[in-house]
């Protein structure tokens, strides 16, 4: 076995140089005139049992990355390995089988639950579709799941509109757990919820992670939420991963100027720890026409002349800490 094959099989998930582009068409014949580079060459890996947080401003490509990794979207380029097996081009039955191991929890629980179905049917649907469990045991299994996520047993007979936002997200989590997946990709799972409910749902996800032996890819724009959940964190900007580090290390010693700006914006509970906030100028450029060189250079407070000519690569600056910035090359 080569070192590369060994690395791939040791991780639950390994993503290599993944790209997801959307064609832009124009003119009378609707010819392709360019690409929206939603995900532009990202590489990452998830160890079994860990939570990897993917963070960045809205529109940075993190949700598209999550959906491409789970194969809800077809990658444009790159490779995805799950338990050492190349899943990049799976189709048909093989792709359907993969869905048992990789599930998603979505941002808007109401939009992702069928309003015409009772909660019992919503949660049991994946089990029925995959022929898991006998009919007599199915109801008990679903009841157990509902109780485990903190819902009353009579939730089984109710409809999604009869629940609060937090409860609806619990239904979404129960459904995602039904097939006992190995990986859950949670895409902004608490950003649509009241702040008071957010921490309850986050704590539930953490408890379930231990109990169900789950690996989590946790996608969010809020760095304080990501910190609460993650063992390691990847920061995305304009479709690129610009920094990957152990969570504590990233918050204690952010290397990339973009990460430094994001962390400076987190409110500090203790005013004595208050550091100066870094305000970024301008807006995130269009992914259809990203800047040449470092994608962050038009907004970077530490920009150098070479930054507009050379695109930095994600490189190790110390153990488990990688950054893509010419300051460190």
Q: Where on the chain is the footprint of ligand SF4 (CB under 6 A)?
A: 256-257, 294, 296-297, 300, 302-304, 307, 312, 325-327
DSSP string of 145-191? HHHHTT--GGGGGS-GGGS-HHHHHHHHHHHHHTT--SEEEEESTTT
Q: Return the number of the residue (170 or 297) whose C-beta is nearest ligand SF4.
A: 297
**CA atoms within 13 A of residue 317's CA, in its CB half-sphere:** 22
Q: State in angstroms the smallest separation of the CB of 18 from ligand SF4.
A: 21
**Closest CB 111 distance from ligand SF4, rounded Å:** 36
User: Which whole-number Å values give the CA distances from 199 to 69, 97, 133, 189, in the listed order?
Assistant: 26, 33, 33, 11
Q: Which is nearer to ligand SF4, 104 or 263 (CB)?
A: 263
C-beta of 240: minimal distance to ligand SF4 in Å? 10
User: Which residues lie below 8 Å from residue 174, measured CB to CB, with a gap of 6+?
Assistant: 123, 142, 145, 146, 148, 149, 151
How many residues are there in the chain? Answer: 329
- CA-atom Rg of the chain in angstroms: 21
**Of 173 and 294, CB closest to ligand SF4:** 294
Work out the number of other CB atoms within 10 angstroms of the CB of residue 137: 11
C-beta of 222: minimal distance to ligand SF4 in Å?
22
State which residue, 99 or 256, has the beta carbon closest to ligand SF4. 256
Residue (105 or 307) nearer to ligand SF4, CB: 307
What is the 3-state composition of the chain as percent helix, strand, coil, each rounded to the nearest 5? Answer: 35, 25, 40
Q: Please state the closest distance from residue 311 (CB atom) to ligand SF4, in A.
A: 8
What is the token pair recorded at 53? 């947080």
Q: Environment class of residue 59 by beta-carbon count within 10 Å: exposed (0-12), middle (13-18) or buried (19+)?
A: middle
The minimum distance between CB 237 and ligand SF4, in angstroms, equals: 9
Cα dihedral 128, 132, 133, 136, rounded to 10, equals 10
Residue 144 or 313: the one with the smaller Cβ distance to ligand SF4 is 313
State in angstroms the smallest separation of the CB of 312 from ligand SF4: 5
Which residues are within 8 A (CB) of 141 and not within 5 positions of it... i.e. 6 or more apart?
Answer: 124, 127, 133, 178
CB closer to ligand SF4 out of 206 and 302: 302
């Amino acid at each position: 076995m080569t070192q590369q094959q060994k690395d791939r099989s040791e991780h639950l998930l390994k993503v290599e140089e993944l790209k997801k582009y959307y064609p832009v068409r124009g003119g009378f014949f609707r010819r392709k005139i360019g690409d929206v580079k939603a995900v532009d060459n990202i590489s990452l890996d998830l160890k079994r049992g860990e939570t990897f947080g993917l963070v960045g401003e809205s529109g940075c490509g993190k949700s598209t990355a999550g959906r491409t990794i789970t194969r809800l979207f077809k990658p444009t380029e790159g490779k995805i390995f799950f338990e050492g097996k190349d899943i990049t081009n799976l189709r048909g039955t093989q792709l359907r089988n993969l869905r048992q191991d990789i599930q998603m929890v979505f941002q808007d629980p109401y939009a992702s639950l069928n309003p015409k179905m009772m909660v019992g049917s919503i949660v049991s649907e994946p089990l029925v579709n995959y022929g898991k469990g006998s009919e007599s045991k199915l109801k008990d299994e679903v009841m157990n799941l509902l109780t485990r996520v903190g819902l009353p047993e009579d939730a089984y007979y109710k409809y999604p509109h009869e629940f609060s936002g937090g409860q609806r997200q619990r239904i979404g989590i129960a459904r995602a757990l039904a097939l006992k997946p190995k990986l859950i990709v949670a895409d902004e799972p608490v950003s649509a919820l009241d702040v008071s409910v957010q921490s309850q749902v986050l704590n539930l996800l953490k408890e379930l992670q231990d109990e169900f032996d789950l690996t989590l890819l946790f996608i969010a724009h809020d760095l304080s939420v990501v910190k609460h959940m993650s063992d390691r964190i990847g920061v995305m900007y304009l479709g690129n991963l610009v920094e990957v580090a152990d969570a504590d290390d990233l918050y204690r010693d952010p290397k990339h100027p973009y990460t430094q700006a994001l962390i400076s914006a987190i409110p500090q509970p203790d005013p004595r720890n208050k550091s100066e906030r870094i305000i970024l100028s301008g807006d995130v450029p269009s992914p259809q026409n990203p800047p040449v060189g470092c994608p962050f250079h038009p907004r970077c407070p530490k920009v150098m002349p070479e930054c507009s000519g050379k695109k930095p690569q994600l490189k190790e600056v110390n153990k488990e800490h990688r950054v893509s910035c010419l300051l460190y090359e």
